[in-house]
């Protein structure tokens, strides 16, 4: 089913607002969910809406969090997100990091007690107008086994980095450290299809292609021991360093543990480019690097810069609409009936 992005955004906004989120914040979270769909990141798009509402209804997401500053020293701030929507809390953290970077050249904000962040590359992108490099690191609930392990201990601990470009789409790396984003397994489960071998283990620690078993078990780290090592380091930087909770003691988004908040921890940074190098010189060197990479393509193949394909997908879906599977549409229609909001027909 194809749906115009503005109609989808309006629908999600109404659902979140009626669920209790203030209007301005409902618009913002819905915009990020819709942007994820537009950019081809459906794993972090409207598939998450029903789960978010379930967490709000259970009281595990705080729709009006009291975000507090726990520490504020020079370029570093630590805040408590009071288990609010991750998109709201992490965006506040990024705005604080940008403010610090204007003054000190770099801003680093640690976040305790946050929710699910959605597509974190969209939060990292907030640095673009400020001529900064932004990054977001987060831990997550126990969903990934250590390399050689049989039990979910770590999160897949995604990170995103955004580098602004003067004459082109920003360079954005946004990735989880499992072999696949867990959202792909959630989508497979919703759509009733098997997952590839090598993605996950069941709860007994054996390989599985059944998404339901995988969601009860653990995903496997990308690049084997290397992905595990990176996930461990991000766990240390994003939780241990700032006094947050470790992944194995956090709540879970899927299968949802509605009796507790997610309680994730994040580390958000902004680097002011002009404090290191003149902006124009930075852009010249960056474009030389990118053009050299692209010129190395074989024959008629094209080398994409991270984030470039997402921009192309976005342009197409803005024209034609966002394609949703029948199962996702069914979930959205269910929410529409629950909150008396008409689901868009186009």
What kind of fold does domain 187-220 have according to CATH? Answer: Wheat Germ Agglutinin (Isolectin 2); domain 1 (3.30.60)
* Distances in whole angstroms, Cα of residue 327 to Cα of each of 4, 13, 47, 211, 299: 18, 20, 9, 15, 41
CA angle 90, 95, 97 (to 5 degrees): 90
- Whether 254 and 182 have beta carbons less than 8 Å apart is answered as yes
The H or E element spanning position 160 is strand 159-163
Residue 190 has pLDDT above 90, yes or no: no
Q: Are 187 and 47 in contact (CB under 8 A)?
A: yes
Instruction: Give the CB-side neighbour count of residue 104, counting CA atoms within 13 A.
Output: 15
Pairing verdict, β 152-154 and 144-145:
antiparallel
d(CA 280, CA 167): 11
**Tokens at residue 96, please?**
């604080």
> Which residues does 207 contact at the CB level (< 8 Å), separation at least 6?
197, 198, 200, 201
User: Which of 187-191, 204-208, 210-214, 215-219 has the least mean pLDDT?
Assistant: 187-191
**Does the bond joining 219 to the residue before it have cis omega, within 30 degrees of 0?**
no
**In this predicted model, what pLDDT tens digit does every residue of 298-325 receive, in sequence order?**
988 999 999 999 999 999 999 999 999 8
Q: List the chain domain ranges.
A: 1-58+308-346, 66-178+222-306, 187-220
pLDDT in tens, 43-100: 899 999 999 999 999 999 999 999 999 999 999 999 999 999 999 999 999 999 999 9
Q: Are strands 218-219 and 152-154 parallel, antiparallel or unpaired?
A: unpaired
Count of residues in the chain: 346
Question: What class does CATH assign to 66-178+222-306?
Answer: alpha beta
Q: Which residues contact 285 (CB under 8 A, 6 or more apart)?
A: 277
Interatomic CA distance for residues 230 and 288, integer angstroms? 29
Banded model confidence at residue 345, pLDDT cuts 50, 70, 90: low
Taking Cα atoms as reference points, which of 47, 219, 241 lies closest to residue 141? 219
Distance between CA atoms of residues 22 and 33, nearest Å: 16
Span 116-126, pLDDT tens digits: 999 999 999 99
Percent of the chain with pLDDT over 90: 91
pLDDT for 191: 84
Ramachandran quadrant class, 107 (left: phi over 0; alpha: psi -120 to 50; beta: rest): beta
CATH code of 1-58+308-346, in short, is 1.10.1530.10
């Amino acid at each position: 089913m194809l749906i115009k992005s503005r109609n989808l955004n309006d629908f999600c906004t109404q659902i979140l607002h009626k669920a209790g989120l203030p209007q301005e914040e409902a618009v913002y979270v819905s915009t990020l969910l819709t942007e994820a769909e537009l950019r081809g990141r459906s794993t972090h798009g409207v598939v998450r809406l029903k789960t978010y509402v379930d967490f709000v209804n259970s009281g595990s997401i705080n729709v009006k969090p009291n975000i507090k500053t726990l520490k504020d020293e020079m370029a570093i701030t630590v805040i408590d997100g009071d288990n609010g929507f991750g998109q709201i809390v992490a965006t506040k953290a990024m705005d604080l990091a940008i403010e610090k970077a204007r003054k000190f050249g770099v801003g680093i904000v640690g976040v305790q007690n946050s929710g699910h962040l959605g597509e974190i590359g969209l939060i990292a992108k907030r640095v673009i107008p400020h001529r900064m490099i932004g990054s977001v690191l987060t831990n997550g609930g126990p969903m990934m086994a250590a390399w050689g392990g049989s039990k979910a201990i770590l999160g897949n601990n995604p990170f995103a980095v955004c580098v602004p470009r003067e004459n082109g789409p920003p360079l954005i790396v946004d990735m989880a450290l499992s072999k696949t984003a867990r959202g792909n397994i959630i989508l497979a489960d919703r759509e009733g299809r098997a997952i590839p071998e090598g993605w996950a283990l069941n709860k007994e620690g054996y390989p599985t292609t059944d998404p339901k078993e995988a969601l009860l078990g653990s995903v496997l780290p990308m690049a084997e021991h290397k992905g595990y090592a990176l996930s461990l380091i991000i766990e240390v930087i994003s939780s241990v360093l700032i006094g947050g909770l470790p992944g194995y003691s956090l709540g879970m988004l899927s299968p949802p543990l509605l009796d507790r908040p997610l309680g994730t921890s994040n580390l958000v940074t902004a680097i002011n480019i002009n404090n290191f190098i003149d902006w124009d010189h930075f852009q010249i060197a960056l474009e030389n690097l990118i053009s050299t990479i692209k010129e190395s393509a074989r024959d008629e193949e094209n080398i994409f810069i991270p984030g470039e394909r997402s921009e192309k997908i976005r342009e197409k879906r803005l024209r034609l609409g966002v394609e949703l599977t029948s199962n996702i549409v069914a979930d959205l229609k269910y929410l529409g009936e629950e909150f008396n909001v008409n689901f868009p027909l186009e």
